[in-house]
Each structure stands twice: as C-alpha cells, then as structure tokens.
Amino acid sequence: MTPTDAPSNREALLSSYRLGGGSNVALTWPLIHALEAGWPDAPALFTDPLLAELLVSEPVFPTWLERRLTAQRRSFLLEGCEPAAEPLLARLAIQCQLNDFAWFVAEDERVEVTRLAGRIGDLTPAEAMALACYRPLGSLAGSDDFLTRGWIGPVQAVLLEQVIAARREQALQARIPAVTSLGDGVSQGVRAQYEASPYPRWRKVTPVKVAGSIFGWRVPTAPNVLIAGCGTGSHAIHAGQRYGGARILAVDLSRASLGYALRKTREAGISNIAYAQADLLKLGETSFTFDAIECSGVLHHLADPVEGLRVLAGRLKPGGIMKIGLYSAIARANLKPAKALARSYTPETIPALRHAIASAPEGDPVKAPMRFTDFYSAAACRDLLMHVQEHELGIDDIRLMLAETGLDFVAFALDPGVKAAYRATFPDDPAATDLANWDAFERANPATFRHMYQFWVRKPG
C-alpha cells in the first residue's frame, strides 16, 4: 500500500476491522501495514482513525509500532500534552491498561511517574492521563477523588476504564458463587498467578457464527455447555455465539479473571452465561453434566493433564463433544532460550524482560517470543514465558490421553490450507484423523500448531 492509495483502502480496512470486533490477527495485520506505509505526522497522528481504533481494541504489535508509541508516551509524560493531542493520550492510557503496562520505562520516566503519583490531588486532566499510561489510576490511594472533579473530554474514557470499571469488577468478584472447593499445591499456584495477572484483557466482542453442527455432531436445542477455565470471558462469549441458545457455565480458579469476565459479559448485554469459581479437578464431585465442553489452554497447567481430562470426560454426556487446547512441545521449542532468560526476572520486571528480548541482536534465538502476539501484553508474556506450571505435549501424548479417558478423536481445528497440505501429504487419510500421520506432518512442519493443538473429541454413546 502506498500513501497515494491509502485513504480509500484505509476506510475499507477500518470498516472490516470494526465489523470483526477487533483482536483478530487476520484483520489487524492489514491495519498495521497501512500505518507502516503511511505513518501520520502531528497533528494528523493525534486523531488518525486506524491508530485510534487499534489502541482501544487490543494490545498493539509488532515491535516497531510499540517503539513509536512508547516514544510518544514518553514525550507526553516529560514534555506535556497540547489539547489537540489529548485524544491520543487518552487512547494510549487505555492501550497501556490493555497491555498490562508491558512497555519499558526509562529511569527518568520512573522518576516523573513517582512525582505525579505523589500529587494526584492537584493533577490536570492531561497529567492524570499521562500518569495512567504508566500506572492504573484505580490502584492509587485517593483515586476515587478523580470522579468528583467534573472532568469532561478524553479523560472521561480513561477514568471509566481505570477507575470505574476496576471498582465494578471488585464488587462483582464478591458475588460470584463457588461451585467446588479449591485444591492445594498446583491449583493454588495457578490461581495466584491469574489473580495477579488476569489474562487476556479485551474490550470488544468478536463475532462468531452459530454452528448447526460441529464435525458432524448436531448441536442440540439449548445445550448445556461448560467452559472449563474461562479466564476473562472472551472464550465463554464466543462459545455462547457458537452454540446459539446454549446455557453456559463458565468456571475458573481466579476471581479477578471472573470479575473481569462478568463485567464484560454484562456490558455486552449477554445473559446466557453463568460464571462460577471452581477447581477443574473438583468438578467430579458435582452432579453437573454437559452436552459440550470446551477447555482450551488449561489442562497443560495442571499437575496431571490426564486426570483433568478424565474429570471432564466424566461430566460429558454420552455422545457429547469436547474441544481441547494443549501446548505443542514441537511448536514451542524455540521459546526455550527466552524462558531461560525469564528465570532471571520476576512478574514485576516483565517490561525489563521484554526490553531485553527486543534489544537482543537480530538472529538471536531469544527473540522468538516476538513472533507471538502474547509477547505484547505483560500478563500474556508471563503466561508465555514464566508460567508457574506448564506441560508441553506431543501428538502421541494426545493419543495416550484419549485412550486413557475413552474419548474418540474427531478433528483438529485448523486453517483449511493446513488441512489441504495434510491431505496432499497423506491422500489415504481424507478424513484427516490419523494421529500417527499428524505426528509425522507436525515434525515436518513444526509451526503447524504454534497456537496450540486445538482439537475436538467425542464421548461414545
């Protein structure tokens, strides 16, 4: 894309992005390429519609864009913000909340942030927004006073996100029921991580089409669906769309995650999702049964993933379907250098860890995480490189897990192009269900499951 043809194309890209709800990599990349091809100078930068939409929709990537925005944030903090630039400053503050304040902070910025935080009683709106780019305003002593000042303009959106929404989540957490007890050991360690780092933060609902059937399984009318390990709610909302008139129970260990999920679900006007605190391993003690279960990115954080799958299989009705997401050891092998480096850091110093990785020489294997969108949020980066409990598995592990739990493999959820490449390699398996073949295919194509093994299984009956 060239600057001369950018205006009409930019409008079309923005329209597609908005229709897609944001946070869709396939729609995000074209916006980023358009920005890179025609980066606006001030004052156009302050109100550029593509940048404005990205900043308030999802953690931005890649590194070149983060660096430009980090420099702009620094300028607003240390040099001030003219009134015309306040819309951009407000969106930067919302972006920093979305990415969990993942951006690197230099020492002179740290000094100024400390100074501003020490005098919040007499900050101007612009100073408050600059501070909100480095610390969540709701975490500051006396922050409720911001709500009494009658401020109007861009600062209102920042106060809504960082003070009002935070208070709502805290109130909602206390009202979420617990449907199981919580186990000790690994369960407590994982819960503590997500209480401190709810993951992921999101702002917009991505539309998902209603599915009449899933790989031949006919979706019942008003099915009961379990989301086991729902995190901050986007997965549960997507499932609610996929299954039409489903009754959904979404459970998680972390009340902080559940509070976020419930707030966002209510804001979206969705009423068919019930949230509850639960330990997946304790669900076997309940009488719940489900037509469908989805458990993505959860089992590999248990002490024993097989036991977790066994518990879920016990809650699935005969003939029911389950979607599972597990980390691939092959796809994630390139993360080992960065994980080794991360052992020298703490969750509180993730911005410094990210800076060290991004500053490494080109070609250094430690830079591998930069190809994952999770690198661009502090909570997600912690999940990616510093998780308290993690298993990385192979397709043979999947085969053994299913054999031990009596579940039948249905299909991998993959891009059609990947499945076409598989069928070209293994024409004798048109159904693409031979796990031995998939093991060979992954070894020849190590990035196949870089976003996890996502696959469907059925319970006989």
CATH code for position 312: 3.40.50.150
pLDDT tens-digit series, residues 363-394 = 999 999 999 999 999 999 999 999 999 999 99
pLDDT of res. 26: 84
- 317 shares a domain with 419: yes
**Structural domain count of the chain:** 3
pLDDT of res. 5: 40
What are the angstrom distances between the C-alpha of 309 and each of 219, 316, 337, 409, 459?
22, 11, 30, 13, 12
Parent domain of 138: 39-170
What is d(CA 144, CA 409) in angstroms, rounded to the nearest whole number?
Answer: 53
pLDDT tens-digit series, residues 1-51 = 333 344 568 999 999 999 887 767 888 999 999 999 999 999 999 999 999
DSSP state letters, 425-444: H-TT-TT---HHHHHHHHHH
- 136 shares a domain with 64: yes
Residue 277 neighbours by CB under 8 Å, 6+ apart = 176, 177, 178, 179, 180, 182, 251, 252, 253, 254, 255, 258
The DSSP 8-state label assigned to residue 41 in this structure reads P
Q: Percent of the chain, pLDDT > 70?
A: 98
What is d(CA 420, CA 393) in angstroms, rounded to the nearest whole number?
Answer: 24
What is d(CA 326, CA 348) in angstroms, rounded to the nearest whole number?
Answer: 27
pLDDT of res. 25: 82
Q: Looking at the DSSP assignment, which residues form a beta bridge with residue 273?
A: 248
- 196 shares a domain with 140: no
What is d(CA 332, CA 63) in angstroms, rounded to the nearest whole number?
Answer: 20
- 194 shares a domain with 66: no
Q: Do the domain assignments include residue 408?
A: yes
pLDDT tens-digit series, residues 394-448 = 999 999 999 999 999 999 999 999 999 999 999 999 999 999 999 999 999 999 9
- 424 shares a domain with 282: yes
Q: Which token pair is 382?
A: 């912690």
- 420 shares a domain with 271: yes
* Residue where the block lists tokens 């039409």: 244
pLDDT tens-digit series, residues 262-271 = 999 999 999 9
Q: Do the domain assignments include residue 58?
A: yes
Q: Do the domain assignments include residue 22?
A: no
Instruction: Judge whether residue 352 has pLDDT over 90.
Output: yes
pLDDT tens-digit series, residues 299-329 = 999 999 999 999 999 999 999 999 999 999 9
- 347 shares a domain with 318: no
β-sheet with 316-326: strand ranges across: 273-277, 247-252, 224-228, 290-296, 316-326, 453-458, 408-412
- 279 shares a domain with 243: yes
pLDDT tens-digit series, residues 126-140 = 999 999 999 999 999
- 127 shares a domain with 224: no
What is d(CA 378, CA 376) in angstroms, rounded to the nearest whole number?
Answer: 7
Last residue of one domain, picked from the residues 136, 170, 204:
170
The pairing of strands 453-458 and 408-412 is: antiparallel
- 441 shares a domain with 400: yes
pLDDT of res. 245: 87
Size of the chain, expressed as the number of residues it contains? 461
Integer-rounded Cα radius of gyration of the chain: 23
Q: Do the domain assignments include residue 348?
A: yes
- 366 shares a domain with 321: no
Q: Do the domain assignments include residue 5?
A: no
User: What average pLDDT does this structure show over 336-352?
Assistant: 98
- 291 shares a domain with 209: yes
Q: Do the domain assignments include residue 180?
A: no
Q: Do the domain assignments include residue 403?
A: yes
Q: Within 38-154, where are the H helices?
A: 44-47, 49-55, 63-79, 86-98, 107-117, 125-132
Q: Do the domain assignments include residue 406?
A: yes
Last residue of one domain, picked from the residues 170, 198, 228:
170
